[in-house]
Amino acid sequence: MCRRNNSTPSANQAHRSPVRRRTPPRPTRSRRFRLPCQGQETRPGRQELKVLTQRLCDVASLRTYLGARERDGTTGLAIAAYAPSRDDWERGARAVRCDVLLAANDGTPRTTTADFKGMLAGPESAALRLCYRQELAEGQLSDDGVDIPCIEPHTAEDISAWFNLDGSVATPAARNARCLPYALQFLGVDALPAGILLRPIIRTVNGAYTVRCAVAPLQSNLQSSPGTITGTLAPAGGPKHG
C-alpha cells in the first residue's frame, strides 16, 4: 500500500514540484504540497485512490503546511487531492498532489497570489484566520456572528476551541472561564493582557448549541460599529487596526 514518506522525492516526483520564482507568482486558485507515495507498483483502483488521497491530503497535513499552531482557526480553505494518472504511474510517479484552495463562502475558488506555505506563522496570516462579525443592537453584540477572514472588520477572533453549550457553561462567566486557558495558549501569555477580553460566540446548528471561544480587543466594547478591528491578535499576526 502507498504510505507517507518524508524522504527526498525521486526525479520523477521532483519534476512536479512547484517552481520557485524570482518574480511574484501569477494569480492562482491553489498552492501545492505533496506527500510521496511509494511501495506499490500497480496503480490502485479508483476507490482505493480516493481513500488514499483523502488520507494523505488531510487537515493535519494542511495545518502543518500552513504553519498552524493548535489554537489557530482558519476559514475559506479547502483541499483538492490528485493522484498520478495511469501514464504518470507507469513512468514512476508516486506523488499525491494536494492543492490548497482559497474559497469564498459559497465554495467558489478565489484567485490569490499568496504563498500559503507557513502563512499562519507570518505577518499576512489574517487573510486565512477565522473571525466573527456580530451585530450591534441596543448596545449589545449578538451571541452569534458571521464567519469572515480576519482581514475584514470583525468583533471577535476564533481561537480554535469549541465545546457544547450545557448547564456547566450556562453563564457568560462560566463560558469565559472555560475559554481562558485556550485564549492564553493562543496569545502565548500567562495572563490575559489588560487590552484583551474573552468573547465566546454561541452557534446554533440543527438545534444544537456550540460555544466557540474567541478573543477581542477591549476597545471594541466602546465602538458604535460591530466592525471594530481588522487583522489578528495572534503573536506573529502583523499589525492590528481599530
Contacts with 91 (C-beta within 8 Å, 6 or more apart), sequence order: 12
3-state secondary structure of 223: coil
Helices (H), the chain: 11-14, 46-56, 59-66, 86-90, 172-187
Nearest to 231 by CA among 242, 222, 215: 242
pLDDT confidence of residue 29: 47
pLDDT confidence of residue 30: 54
Question: Could you tell me the CA-to-CA distances from 223 to 77, 148, 218, 228 in Å, in that order?
Answer: 30, 19, 10, 7
Nearest to 154 by CA among 211, 232, 212: 232
Distance CA 204, CA 143 (A): 10
Distance CA 196, CA 215 (A): 7
3-state secondary structure of 150: coil
Distance of alpha carbon 74 from its chain centroid, rounded?
2
Q: What is the CA radius of gyration of the chain?
A: 21
pLDDT confidence of residue 137: 83
From first to last of its 242 residues, the chain has per-residue pLDDT tens of 454 443 333 222 222 223 233 333 334 445 555 656 666 778 888 888 888 888 888 889 889 999 999 999 999 888 888 888 889 888 888 888 888 888 877 777 778 888 888 999 988 999 999 999 999 888 789 999 999 999 999 999 999 999 999 999 999 999 999 999 999 999 999 999 988 999 999 999 888 999 999 999 876 444 444 447 899 999 875 445 55
pLDDT confidence of residue 99: 85
Model pTM score = 0.77
